[in-house]
């Protein structure tokens, strides 16, 4: 469903990504891990049209999307959340989801009358799925950090994407919340029939969700496989799992 070949990203002489290649199948959950600065967010920014001028090939269902505008890529079926929360100012939780359902519109108060009364098919079901239905008419900015994370995920799904990219959705969550999140991510795949790319530092979430994992280090792919396979990789152990050479 997603085909990436030799994806590279340079900022001047600095190489943020170098020759990244992988495929993603329909309904697959792919994990991407690495230390801060490994190139994880640069990778998904390159896929979603939000960063620099990457080279290589990115195809979604056979359509080349590399270098297209972010809104064009969104209309083709790619949705994402952000490592740093992107909540629209002065908008209710419900209105966040309506923006995603009306992707031809840009968010903003002056445009709200254009879609405020739009039929919100599926909005309440999504809010209930993420346990935030009680906040439906509340200003999203006033919610707790964890609930704002859930608003972002619900907003991403409101556009019925083929591919959902989650950038550290477990950030700031406690152990119990992380367990719930992992269960929700698996259910998202089953209920909404979407492929998922999951970037996450919490290895318990990665292990619970991902059939396959890619490990990045300084912009390069150093390992790919199941959780057990990457956990047994000595380079991964040294760089990411804290083990030292015997």
Give the 3-state secondary structure of 52-86: CCCEEEEEECCEECCCCCHHHHHHCCEEECCCCCC
Q: What is the pTM of this model?
A: 0.89
Please classify residue 104 by burial: count the beta carbons closer than 10 Å to its beta carbon, then call 0-12 exposed, 13-18 middle and 19+ buried. exposed
Which residues have C-beta within 8 Å of that of residue 117, sequence separation ≥ 6? Answer: none
Please classify residue 220 by burial: count the beta carbons closer than 10 Å to its beta carbon, then call 0-12 exposed, 13-18 middle and 19+ buried. middle
Whether the CA torsion 59, 219, 31, 36 is positive or negative: it is negative
Cα 18 from Cα 142, distance rounded (Å): 40
Are the CB atoms for 75 and 92 separated by under 8 Å?
no
Are the CB atoms for 92 and 138 separated by under 8 Å?
yes
Residue 17: in which H helix or E strand, if any?
A: strand 14-24
Per-residue pLDDT 10s for the chain (246 aa) are: 999 999 999 998 899 999 999 999 999 999 999 988 899 999 999 999 997 889 999 999 999 999 999 999 999 999 999 988 889 989 999 999 988 887 544 444 444 545 555 556 689 999 999 999 999 999 999 999 889 999 999 999 998 999 999 999 998 888 898 999 999 999 999 999 999 999 999 999 999 999 999 999 999 999 999 999 998 998 888 776 555 544
Q: Which two tokens stand for residue 64?
A: 């080349």
Cα 165 from Cα 153, distance rounded (Å): 9
Comparing C-alpha atoms, which of 101, 14, 84 is closest to residue 45? 84
pLDDT at 184: 94
pLDDT at 116: 52
Domains of the chain: 1-77+161-246 (3.40.50.300), 85-159 (no CATH)
pLDDT at 104: 47
The three-state DSSP-derived secondary structure of 199-245 is ECCCHHHHHHHCCEEEEEECCEEEEEECHHHHHCCHHHHHHCCCCCC
pLDDT at 37: 87
Please report which residue ranges of 90-165 form alpha helices under DSSP H.
93-101, 112-115, 123-129, 145-158
Cα 118 from Cα 178, distance rounded (Å): 34
């Amino acid at each position: 469903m997603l085909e990436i070949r030799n994806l590279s990203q340079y900022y001047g002489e600095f190489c943020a990504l170098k020759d990244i290649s992988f495929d993603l199948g329909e309904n697959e959950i792919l994990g991407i891990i690495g230390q801060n600065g490994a190139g994880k967010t640069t990778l998904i920014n390159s896929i979603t049209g939000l960063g620099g001028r990457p080279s290589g090939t990115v195809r979604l269902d056979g359509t080349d999307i590399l270098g297209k505008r972010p809104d064009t890529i969104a209309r083709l079926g790619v949705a994402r959340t952000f490592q740093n929360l992107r909540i629209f100012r002065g908008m209710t939780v419900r209105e966040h989801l309506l923006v995603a359902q009306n992707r031809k519109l840009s968010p903003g108060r002056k445009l709200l009358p254009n879609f405020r009364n739009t039929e919100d098919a599926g909005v309440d079901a999504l809010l209930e799925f993420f346990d935030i239905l009680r906040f439906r008419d509340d200003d999203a900015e006033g919610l707790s950090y964890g609930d704002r994370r859930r608003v972002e995920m619900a907003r991403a799904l409101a556009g019925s994407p083929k591919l959902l990219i989650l950038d550290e959705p477990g950030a700031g969550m406690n152990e119990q919340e992380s367990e719930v999140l992992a269960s929700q991510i698996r259910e998202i795949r089953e209920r909404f029939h979407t492929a998922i790319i999951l970037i996450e530092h919490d290895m318990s979430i990665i292990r619970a969700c991902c059939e396959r994992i890619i490990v990045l280090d300084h912009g390069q792919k150093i390992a790919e496989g199941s959780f057990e396979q990457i956990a047994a990789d000595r380079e991964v152990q040294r760089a990411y799992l804290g083990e030292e050479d015997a």
